[in-house]
Structures are given as C-alpha cells and as structure tokens.
Amino acid sequence: MTITEQIQNLEAFLPQKDELNEDVSSQGVIWHLVHSMKVMNGILFMLTKSDPADYKKKMNMARTFVFNAGAIPRGQGKSPKAVIPTEEEMSEEGFYNYKELTEKLIPKIEALPEKSNFKHPVFGYLDKKGTLKFIEIHTEHHLKIIRDIVKVTA
C-alpha cells in the first residue's frame, strides 16, 4: 500500500476521532491518527535530508522479525517524545497540518538515491526501501489499533 493510500485510510477515521477504549489502547483514535502522520512526516523529512554515505547495512534481529512479520507487536515499542502528539496537535486541524506537510514530501522521495536513509532507534539504519516499508508497517500497526477501538465502541 502506498503512503498516499495509508493517509486516506487514516483520514477515513477522522469522524471517530473522539473514540477511546482503554481495553484496546490508553490513547484515543485522534492520538493514533496524529501520531501516525507525525511519524510519517518526520521520517520522510529525515530521509530527504540524509546523506547516502551514512547508510550502513547491519544485521538487526528486531528489524528482521518485524519486517518479516510485517507487523509490530502491540505494547512492545515506546514512541520517542518527538512523535508523541501534544494536546494542541490532537485535532482534525493537527491531522491536516501534518497531512499537508507529508504530501509535500512524498514527490521528493521517488527521486532520492536508494541509499538515502533513516536511522531508527531500534532497527538501525534503513535505506529508502526499508524506510518506506517501516512507514507502511508502522502505519498499519496504528490502523489496526484504531479499527479495534472503533469496532469495540461501535
């Protein structure tokens, strides 16, 4: 699935933005929506600013597990402070602000060298292809949580 398609999937949940079910997640739908956009935006921005010479491919068991499974196990990760939405960002406006920024970055990604990279705090260096795969896996992780929140509260 493309980043644009994932953004559309996230956006489709904005009508349920106020839903929360603490049996599924301590955070509500809007948190997951804005967090997902904030992560996408931040990673794509770093990818555009990266130096391909910095890319170092190393074996990483956590990355291998997550990438092969195509999923992040729930409750296993901790979000860096930089991608935790603030109270002011947790709104439709906050979502759309990040969407606008992300949509401006997407066209720049295709032209980047393959060794453009993002250094993940757990997975290490990811090249362009790995970075895009991580974004897909991360976004799908949050879409599953959102679906479960909405399903349980429906």
Q: How do residues 79-133 score in pLDDT, each as one tens digit?
A: 889 999 999 999 999 999 999 999 999 999 999 999 999 999 999 999 999 999 9
> Which pLDDT score, from 0 to 100, does residue 154 have?
58
Contact call for residues 48 and 112 (beta carbons, < 8 A): yes
Tokens 């897909």 correspond to 136
What is the number of other CB atoms lying within 10 angstroms of the CB of residue 27? 19
* In CATH, 3-7+20-66+82-153 is 1.20.120: yes
Task: Give mean pLDDT, residues 75-81.
Answer: 85
pLDDT bin (cut points 50, 70, 90) of residue 75 is: confident
Domain spans of the chain, in order of start: 3-7+20-66+82-153
Task: Please state, in angstroms and rounded to a whole number, the distance separating the CA atoms of residues 54 and 1.
Answer: 28
Task: Give mean pLDDT, residues 7-22.
Answer: 97
> Which pLDDT score, from 0 to 100, does residue 152 have?
66
Decide if pLDDT at 28 tops 70: yes
Decide if pLDDT at 26 tops 70: yes
pLDDT bin (cut points 50, 70, 90) of residue 1 is: confident
The alpha carbon dihedral of 119, 120, 122, 123 has a sign of negative
pTM of the model: 0.94
Decide if pLDDT at 78 tops 90: no
